Structure 1
């Protein structure tokens, strides 16, 4: 059935033009090349023919062979491009262009927008059962209002520079973001799936914004895995729930982000780069810069030159992370295999998330330990606060058995509890009286329902969030209704 659908949906005309472009890349030009260069260009031509063979295999109903032939063609281009770079007279850009083009063709290249009669289809008519019926990889590349994400990412210098950063200096951050996302995927992906938005875009935004840290807070007050500002979060329903800031909730923040992206894609006529820029710099500012010309390029000097360096870097960084989500193997990147199936445990004895991290150790092969994952999946809990027996915690399913084996009885929970109860000695500060003499005057504020720490600080207009959090020994900006805060008095 799948083969038949693939054959019916092949886009013959666009593919023909694509192959013409690849063939043009293999044309050495008017200057007579050396024998070595000729051989390299012949390999490029061979790869082009390999793609045509892959198409024929798919049309014959042999999907597996078609995919294998396509992958071999891509590998041929990769290997030849390496030798081209060190060969005088060879143009590496021809290979890079062909390589980029093949990757784009690989993204749903066997899933087109024509039906059996050759009539164009639109939107999600690609599959009569909708997004959920499509294989995961196809959902990742197709669903952006019916357009393939790969067709909307311009592989320009800015994106390539960002690719290099993710593959070098930012590589540990990218891997950490991937691991965190896999464990939160069951909470975050459904909102994007419902909105017909590509999963790769969600990952790209999260990787750049927080690196997968649910409790991340920026200097400007943006919070959560997708870094919502207070006012924007409020507009999309990220308020407070019994004192908990919903911006820190993975599922709620993903829903709000999907609603924001869907709203702004409509405003900017599905211009992905402008929409991502609006998420970073504010939709009001982007709307004023763009005006009615929603087809304008993000890199147009009229737009680009008026944006901050942060936004100029932000857009290609998000797109590059999304591109690597789709094509890790093509960039010599290997994401670890993660079993992110959700599960839960009911505490058999009192324990904090920190204590559980100690007794779980490296269970399931997690050498870095489980602290970040436990915090991400239980964002409402203070990780140092001991939870009573009977409390249900969200954990990866693979931890259910290790918890029962390691954290209920035996030496590990005892050791974890002993470490948790330890406290550093208190040493008197001889300069404290002198500091107190010049201390900042303070006032009290009683927390009311609906308050957040950011909102209180903005309302009183007299201190930073970090200062108030430190003054009141708050963890992760968590406040409760009725709590009395000490606030610096405005002068």
Structure 2
């Protein structure tokens, strides 16, 4: 009986002690939950304030408050930043899209939002995230078919050393182009990694690249080969070799044709892509179908082709196996989510580049805009209502920063600025300087004699006749890199006036270095 009482007393004491210890823990948990709930309540209030905002400044203030709240949440124990990201994404969506976002937040990948204010999670892409997804049957066959020999390993070394910046640039550009290019290779049963390798070696993913030999576009088609596969001038002044989707379709068709001729040999097909299909087929037939790496075959190709084949395979290999080499490709926020915008005011790709800004660790969106809209050059005037292909991220940034507000006005001012605005005509005093005589009082007797000028009216007719004569005869010789838009701003006239006076066709307004333009209707 005594033993039972002792155990009962011990159990009671233990229970009492546990209750004493549990009480502070419960109190702390309650305080934490209240702090988290307070943050969630503030988020709802900020979103409501954003929805009711009457102008861009009020929206900007609400977004700033939301960004601060997200930063606060990351420092509060138990507060999940992921619970706030749907609210922030809805606030960043263009009008007309936000209604459908709340019901489908999971459809948006992290990074579709503007990364400029804050890194939401602090997480980076896992080393092997892309490798597992890319190793489908097509890419597995590619890995099995190519020879991972010392020549390819040397190519990997080059890509990872002095050519690493080019590899990174190629990857970023390809992520924006991937939705337009990869489907062609997928339909043809070709490995996507091979597409990336060819593009990285040919152009680094820059769709407007042209070689001295005449090859053009992201996959560098020569004019004659391009015509065989449906590429070339389309009658509007645009060469479809610069179109990423069409060039990928042509490249897939070309490689399938080479595979059929060369018994599915990837190395020889790549040699044909670079060194000519006729030469590759002749060497293949004469050698009795030997491998590209057979010295009797290898030595018959020019040095450029002998370098090209292993470098393409090396780039493709790195695309599939980045983690094996400690390779971390850059993040490309929302690059794969294609969208479109209809311009709400006249602009240019250069102007959009400024107002869109850039995410951390990136060089901005100029290259993406050019690649996704190959018909336009960076300074081509884009009228209001023009439709551009963009990504969800760019569409959100455009509506937030490029239509109205402080950044939009600052960008406009920058686009209108030129060195001519800093020059002073008809004065010997540089801008911002003051003569000493203007600061020091002088006695009447010491004052410099004033020059008496003839009445202005007597010289006005002659001056007007001279100006009229100059306006009739003034011309401008186009320098390398100049655009019609820049020349119009320089001489203070409209692009349409210059185009009409010089028979230049819209919308590209193409001009050539050395061309002489009549400055009809220009003020300067």
The normalised TM-score by structure 2 is: 0.55
**What residue number does 2:285 align with?**
291
Residue 304 of structure 2 corresponds to residue 310 of structure 1: yes
Whether the aligned pair in 1 keeps the contact of 2:170 and 2:199 (CA below 8 Å) is: yes
d(CA) in 2 for partners of 1:285, 1:474: 44
**What residue number does 1:251 align with?**
245
Secondary structure of the residue that 1:244 maps to in structure 2? coil
Aligned residue among 136, 139, 146 for 1:138: 136
d(CA) in 2 for partners of 1:265, 1:201: 13
**What residue number does 1:260 align with?**
254
d(CA) in 1 for partners of 2:484, 2:136: 44
**What residue number does 2:395 align with?**
400
**What residue number does 1:235 align with?**
228
Residue 166 of structure 2 corresponds to residue 177 of structure 1: no
1:278-323 deviation digits (Å, cap 9, x = unpaired): 0001101111222254631112222221222111110000000000
Residue 418 of structure 2 corresponds to residue 423 of structure 1: yes
Whether the aligned pair in 2 keeps the contact of 1:268 and 1:294 (CA below 8 Å) is: no
Secondary structure of the residue that 1:175 maps to in structure 2? helix
Whether the aligned pair in 2 keeps the contact of 1:166 and 1:321 (CA below 8 Å) is: yes
Q: How does 1:67-86 map to 2 (within 5 A)?
A: none
d(CA) in 2 for partners of 1:471, 1:403: 27
Secondary structure of the residue that 1:240 maps to in structure 2? coil
Secondary structure of the residue that 1:259 maps to in structure 2? helix
**What residue number does 1:380 align with?**
375
Whether the aligned pair in 2 keeps the contact of 1:356 and 1:407 (CA below 8 Å) is: yes
d(CA) in 2 for partners of 1:201, 1:136: 11
d(CA) in 1 for partners of 2:514, 2:288: 45
The structure with the largest alpha-carbon Rg is: 2
Q: How does 1:410-489 map to 2 (within 5 A)?
A: 410-425=405-420
Q: How does 1:318-397 map to 2 (within 5 A)?
A: 318-338=312-332, 339=334, 340-362=336-358, 364-365=359-360, 367-397=362-392
**What residue number does 2:219 align with?**
226
1:354-378 deviation digits (Å, cap 9, x = unpaired): 100000111x446311110110000
Secondary structure of the residue that 1:343 maps to in structure 2? strand
Residue 274 of structure 2 corresponds to residue 280 of structure 1: yes
Q: How does 1:14-93 map to 2 (within 5 A)?
A: none
- C-alpha distance 186-294 of structure 1, shift in aligned 2 (>3 A): farther
d(CA) in 2 for partners of 1:487, 1:351: 26
Deviation at 1:151, TM superposition (A): 1.0
Deviation at 1:415, TM superposition (A): 2.3
Query: Unpaired segments of 5 or more residues in structure 2?
Result: 1-127, 422-477, 486-503, 516-524
Secondary structure of the residue that 2:213 maps to in structure 1? coil
Query: Unpaired segments of 5 or more residues in structure 1?
Result: 1-102, 109-134, 143-147, 427-467
Deviation at 1:218, TM superposition (A): 1.1
Whether the aligned pair in 2 keeps the contact of 1:188 and 1:250 (CA below 8 Å) is: yes
Computed over aligned residues only, the root mean square deviation of the Cα atoms, in angstroms, reads: 2.9
1:13-41 deviation digits (Å, cap 9, x = unpaired): xxxxxxxxxxxxxxxxxxxxxxxxxxxxx
- C-alpha distance 425-284 of structure 1, shift in aligned 2 (>3 A): farther
Secondary structure of the residue that 1:247 maps to in structure 2? helix
Deviation at 1:483, TM superposition (A): 8.2
Aligned residue among 155, 165, 179 for 2:158: 165
Deviation at 1:141, TM superposition (A): 1.4
d(CA) in 1 for partners of 2:484, 2:224: 22
d(CA) in 2 for partners of 1:469, 1:252: 32
1:330-384 deviation digits (Å, cap 9, x = unpaired): 111011233221111111111101100000111x446311110110000001210
Secondary structure of the residue that 2:389 maps to in structure 1? strand
Number of aligned residue pairs: give it. 307
Whether the aligned pair in 1 keeps the contact of 2:287 and 2:297 (CA below 8 Å) is: no
**What residue number does 2:68 align with?**
none
Whether the aligned pair in 2 keeps the contact of 1:188 and 1:255 (CA below 8 Å) is: yes
Secondary structure of the residue that 2:167 maps to in structure 1? helix
d(CA) in 1 for partners of 2:513, 2:161: 44
- C-alpha distance 384-472 of structure 1, shift in aligned 2 (>3 A): closer
- C-alpha distance 487-257 of structure 1, shift in aligned 2 (>3 A): farther
1:146-193 deviation digits (Å, cap 9, x = unpaired): xx1111221111111100001111111111111111111110001101
The normalised TM-score by structure 1 is: 0.58
